């Protein structure tokens, strides 16, 4: 597995990371807890060193799973987790309760995440979403304190705009920005990507496979369980799935030229954009993990990239991303 550095931070990770959310949260789990632990061990054996979780996934259960699985391997891996949602007593944090990035909350979450992840320091600590009630300078300052205390190694943001990134970076250097980015979701190219490049910040795209749509395995007859987030997603109505088929057709055409799959082309496209981009597709099955990892070895040509850009400019993607 190739390695990449997240911007100028010095944080080196596998060129492809692994999103762990859906191992315990988001829809019906695939496999038992022990099978997920064995899957995470296999991912490390295959060369994956970058794992993404958050306290809100579950809540707490995802950090606990990742912590248990990777504790014996922590000198080989980088674990990213997130803070930023209000807690409601024993129910834990939830986006439904609102956002909370007050410094005292950030520090409390860090202490709890350290315990669940079974580590002495959090490798990468993201603000999960901007908090309109807390100045970003206060957020960055709180993480700076945690870094100075040895509890956190690197500071990250998620879904922040360019101005916010700049303000945060002025207080505590931002190692990585996590944002949605894929062949069918590219608004961050206008201002956010140039800002990351200028400041030396790595980009970690989540949903790089369009929540599974870009694999080509979903059609208008696909049904989703009630607890699957796609069941309520505007891009996964029957009408949108059918209307957006042109994107998959494009990926399949490029894939045929490279003896690859649509998913591999979607990931290879992201990897080709910048050398400091590290996608984190979620996976719970070994054959999917191996398929995704194959994207690292695909080199799209300048003609491929130009053809994809031209074709996507003619395609109107139907449905909001949330």
The answer, yes or no, to whether the previous bond of 94 is cis (omega within 30 of 0) is no
For residue range 36-59, what is the model confidence (pLDDT) as tens digits? 999 999 999 999 999 999 999 999
Query: What pLDDT score was predicted for residue 138?
Result: 98
| Cβ-contact 228, 247 below 8 angstroms | no
- The answer on pLDDT for 177 being more than 90 is yes
Is the bond into 297 cis (omega within 30 degrees of 0)? no
Q: How far is CA 106 from the centre of its chain?
A: 20
Is residue 101 in a domain?
A: yes
pLDDT of res. 223: 87
Instruction: Label each residue of 228-245 as H, E or C.
Output: CHHHHCHHHCHHHHHHCH
Average pLDDT (63-81) is 97
Three-point CA angle 125, 76, 169, nearest 5°? 25
State residue 234's pLDDT score: 92
pLDDT at residue 131 tops 80: yes
Is pLDDT of 139 > 90?
yes
**Segments of 24-173 assigned E as strands:** 50-52, 78-83, 122-127, 152-158
pLDDT score at 229: 85
* Band of residue 90 on the pLDDT scale cut at 50, 70, 90: confident
Predicted confidence (pLDDT) per residue in 263-300, tens digit: 999 999 999 999 999 999 999 999 999 999 999 999 99
CA 93, 95, 96, 102 dihedral sign is positive
How much is the pLDDT for 32? 92
156 forms bridges with which residues in the sheet? 126, 176
In a domain, 40, yes or no: yes
Inter-residue contact 9 to 173 (CB < 8 Å): yes
Q: What is the mean pLDDT of residues 235-246?
A: 92
> 76: how many CB neighbours lie within 10 A of its CB?
11
Average pLDDT over residues 173-183: 98
Tell me, yes or no, whether 319 lies in a domain.
no
Q: Is 198 contained in some domain?
A: yes
8 A C-beta contact, residue 208 and residue 270: yes
What total number of domains does the chain contain? 1
Percentage of the chain modeled with pLDDT above 70: 100
CA distance 139 to 299: 39
Whether 89 is in a domain gets the answer: yes
Backbone torsion region of residue 259, taken as left when φ is above 0, otherwise alpha when ψ lies between -120 and 50, otherwise beta: left
Instruction: Note whether residue 320 is domain-resident.
Output: no
Q: Please choose, from the candidates 39, 49, 65, the residue with its C-alpha nearest in 3D space to the C-alpha of residue 118.
A: 65
- Confidence band, pLDDT 50/70/90 cuts, at residue 4: very high
Structure tokens at 87: 């807690």
Q: Residue by residue, what is the 3-state secondary structure of 205-227?
A: EECCCHHHHHHCCCCCCCCCCCC
| Strand intervals (E) in the chain | 3-5, 12-14, 18-19, 50-52, 78-83, 122-127, 152-158, 174-180, 202-206
Q: Which domain holds residue 237?
A: 3-313
Residues 239-249, mean pLDDT to the nearest whole number: 93
The 78-83 sheet, strands edge to edge: 18-19, 50-52, 78-83, 122-127, 152-158, 174-180, 202-206
Q: What percent of the chain clears pLDDT 90, i.e. is strictly above it?
A: 91
Residue 162 has pLDDT above 80, yes or no: yes
Asked whether residue 321 is assigned to any structural domain, the reply reads no
Q: Is the CB of residue 296 less than 8 Å from the CB of residue 48?
A: no
Range 26-34 average pLDDT:
84
CATH number where 143 lies: 3.20.20.100
CA distance linking residue 196 with residue 177, whole number of Å: 8
Q: What is the pLDDT of residue 228?
A: 84
pLDDT for res 224: 87
Cα–Cα distance for residue pair 207/212, rounded to 1 Å? 8
Catalytic residue list: 57
Residue 168 lies in a domain: yes
Whole-number Å distance between alpha carbons of 119 and 74:
8
């Amino acid at each position: 597995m190739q390695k990449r550095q997240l911007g100028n931070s010095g944080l080196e990770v596998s060129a492809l990371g692994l999103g762990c959310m859906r191992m315990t949260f988001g829809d019906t789990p695939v496999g038992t807890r022990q099978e997920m632990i064995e899957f995470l061990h296999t991912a490390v054996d295959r060369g994956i060193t970058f794992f993404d979780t958050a306290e809100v996934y579950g809540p707490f259960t995802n950090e606990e799973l990742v912590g248990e699985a990777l504790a014996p391997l922590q000198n080989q891996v980088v674990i990213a987790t997130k803070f930023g949602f209000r807690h409601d007593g024993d129910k834990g944090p939830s986006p439904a309760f609102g956002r909370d990035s007050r410094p005292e909350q950030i520090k409390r979450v860090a202490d709890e995440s350290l315990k669940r992840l079974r580590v002495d320091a959090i490798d990468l600590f993201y603000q999960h979403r901007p908090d309109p009630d807390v100045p970003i300078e206060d957020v960055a300052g709180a993480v700076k304190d945690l870094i100075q205390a040895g509890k956190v190694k690197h500071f990250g943001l998620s879904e922040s705009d360019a101005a916010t990134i700049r303000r945060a970076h002025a207080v505590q250097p931002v190692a990585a920005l996590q944002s949605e980015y894929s062949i069918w979701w590219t608004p961050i190219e206008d201002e956010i990507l140039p800002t990351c490049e200028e400041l030396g910040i790595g980009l970690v795209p989540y949903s790089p496979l369009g929540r599974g749509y870009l694999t080509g395995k979903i059609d208008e007859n696909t049904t989703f369980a009630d607890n699957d987030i796609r069941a309520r997603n505007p891009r996964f109505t029957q009408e949108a799935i059918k209307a957006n088929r042109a994107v998959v057709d494009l990926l399949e055409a490029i894939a045929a030229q490279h003896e690859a799959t649509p998913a591999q082309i979607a990931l290879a496209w992201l990897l080709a954009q910048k050398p400091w981009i590290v996608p984190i597709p979620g996976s719970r099955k070994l054959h999917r993990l191996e398929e995704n990892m194959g994207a690292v070895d695909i080199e799209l040509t300048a003609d491929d990239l130009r053809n994809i850009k031209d074709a996507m400019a003619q395609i109107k993607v139907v449905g909001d991303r949330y």
